[in-house]
Amino acid sequence: SNMAYSKNEKRYKKLLCTVDLTKDFFFSYSFHVMRSLQKNLCNHETGHVLYETMFVWNEFLTRGIRNHLKNTLWTVALVYGFFKQVKLSISGRDFKLALIARRSCHYAGTRYLKRGVNEKGRVANDVETEQ
């Protein structure tokens, strides 16, 4: 049992080390970037926030600790996509504009290998965008 666990642990560690987390992944300590602004504004709960499994690429890796502690304050949700925020000034009014694109982890892959819809109804390379 320990031997199988150790073998799997080494395999998963090797897989994790091959992921380039410096490019196209983003997270926030203070805002749930895996959820849309509308969902964040409608939810007034604190502590235990359900991860949007569609956009959290490390959801499986953090599931054990989140379930054990019964909250998400000790984990960070990694989202794959694009985030950009800029300050603008138009006609003397200052404001910030943000663009967020979240890529689904459910049926992701290269455009030549992943196409169409899978048996669970998930479309290939689904991206949710909001500003």
Name the pairing type of β-strands 127-130 and 25-26. unpaired
Reported as a single tens digit per residue, the pLDDT across 10-41 is 888 888 788 777 789 999 988 888 888 888 88
- Distance between CA atoms of 13 and 104, rounded to whole angstroms? 23
Tens-place pLDDT, residues 85-119: 999 999 999 999 999 999 998 888 777 788 888 88
Taking Cα atoms as reference points, which of 49, 33, 50, 23 lies closest to residue 98?
Answer: 33
Q: State how far the alpha carbon of 46 is from the alpha carbons of 30, 62, 70, in Å.
A: 12, 18, 12
Q: Write down the pLDDT at residue 100.
A: 96
Is the model's pLDDT at 60 over the cut of 60?
A: yes
